[in-house]
Amino acid sequence: MRALYLEGGQIHLRTDYPTPEPPPGEALVRVLKAGICNTDLELLRGYLDFRGVPGHEFVGRVVRCDDDPAWVGRRVVGEINAACGTCETCRAGRPTHCPNRTTLGIAGRDGAFADYLTLPIVNLHAVPDEVSDDEAVFVEPLAAALEITDQAHIRPTDRVIVIGDGKLGLLCAQVLALTGCDLLVIGRHQEKLDLLARRGIPVALEGEGPFGQADVVVEVTGHPGGFQTARKLVRPRGRLVLKSTYHGLLETNMTMVVVDEVTLQGSRCGPFAPALRLLRQRLVDVAPLIQARYPLTEGRAAFEWAATKGTLKVLIEVEGTETEEETR
């Protein structure tokens, strides 16, 4: 099959990559579309020393599922963490933190920038007819945004600030707006913030936030400096939610985190079912986030465009891409 292969900080197209053979309990999925996210770009920069096929935001169609043939032909998205199901962590109901897990396109498992991928059947979610392929690609990052509200209750009286106007930041803002909280989104790019402003979500450029007053600050910048900004915005005994993953170390004054009794909350993958429901009910709008499309055969150019400062979502069209034209 065709696949985009990442090794040594370089990504290139392979046309002779072995088509995966689904083991017992897994399905073979023909990828239709996949999205490039910040984690993919960090993998390219050396995050986790990944080597293989990246990509974890996708929509596809099941073409083989020996253990449950009813899945064949269904359009699906998939949770990215494949847990062992037998360890103490899995038995305790924490499969996304299974120490034996593989993660689609990130750790120990080839991902979605290829003609085919495999995932456990239990990871699959059928896509409703009302949700387009373009929208379905956003289920994984939208689920990650929903993890914020799944981890802790956001009250309507809370003052909440989202820092970051990238792809995930814009999704987090739309999810948090549904809670009725006193929300503000801070970013560097007015044109991106305008996407939220048109939905009635208050926005501000970097440097304009109310320092030391937020009950909850969500850091989604993808840059270490975002933590420092978030730290200045959160009030004593407030909560700082960390959504960014980036290659490298973070330096900060942890003494003042202790003195101010700030709660640090890591937040990663989230629930797919409510993400699909929000898309089906048109409560979240993802179409304006798509800025470019590339065929799989032009994957290197797609990554270069995605890495350009200020770019939102770049989609890679996998099925039928021989006739697709690049759009920007």
The reply to whether 195 and 300 lie within a common domain is: no
The reply to whether 106 and 33 lie within a common domain is: yes
The reply to whether 134 and 14 lie within a common domain is: yes
Statement: residue 43 has pLDDT above 60? yes
Domain CATH code at residue 206: 3.40.50.720
Quote the pLDDT of residue 274: 98
* Domain membership flag for residue 280: no
Residue-by-residue DSSP string for 300-327: HHHHHHHTSTT--EEEEE-TTGGG---B
The reply to whether 130 and 154 lie within a common domain is: no
The reply to whether 66 and 157 lie within a common domain is: no
Statement: residue 328 has pLDDT above 60? no
For the segment 130-179, what is each residue's pLDDT rounded down to a tens digit? 999 999 999 999 999 999 999 989 999 999 999 999 999 999 999 999 99
Residue 321's pLDDT band, with cuts at 50, 70 and 90, is: very low
pTM: 0.93
Query: CB-based burial of residue 280 (10 Å sphere; 0-12 exposed, 13-18 middle, 19+ buried)?
Result: middle
Helices (H), 188-313: 190-197, 225-233, 254-259, 272-280, 299-306
Q: Report d(CA 273, CA 101) in Å as an integer.
A: 21
The reply to whether 55 and 100 lie within a common domain is: yes
The reply to whether 74 and 47 lie within a common domain is: yes
Quote the pLDDT of residue 229: 92
The reply to whether 16 and 134 lie within a common domain is: yes
Residue range 99-108: mean pLDDT, rounded: 97
Residue 325's pLDDT band, with cuts at 50, 70 and 90, is: very low
Quote the pLDDT of residue 251: 82
Residue range 71-75: mean pLDDT, rounded: 98
* Domain membership flag for residue 291: yes
CB crowding 302-320: b at 16 or more within 10 Å, else e: bbebbeeeebbbbbbbbbe
For the segment 231-277, what is each residue's pLDDT rounded down to a tens digit? 999 999 999 999 987 667 788 889 999 999 999 999 999 999 999 99
How many domains is the chain built from? 2
The reply to whether 183 and 205 lie within a common domain is: yes
Q: How many CB atoms lie within 10 A of CB 207?
A: 9
Helices (H), 154-288: 167-177, 190-197, 225-233, 254-259, 272-280
Quote the pLDDT of residue 115: 98
**What percentage of residues in the chain have a pLDDT greater than 70?**
97
* Domain membership flag for residue 272: no
Domain CATH code at residue 64: 3.90.180.10
The reply to whether 201 and 237 lie within a common domain is: yes
- Give the 3-state secondary structure of residue 125: strand
Residue 128's pLDDT band, with cuts at 50, 70 and 90, is: very high
The reply to whether 85 and 102 lie within a common domain is: yes
Quote the pLDDT of residue 320: 65
CB crowding 84-122: b at 16 or more within 10 Å, else e: eeeeebbeeeebbebeebbbbbbbebbbbbbbbbbbbbe
The reply to whether 49 and 174 lie within a common domain is: no
Containing structural domain, residue 163:
145-266
How long a stretch of residues is the chain?
A: 328
For the segment 187-241, what is each residue's pLDDT rounded down to a tens digit? 999 999 999 999 999 999 998 778 899 999 999 998 888 999 999 999 999 999 9
Quote the pLDDT of residue 324: 37
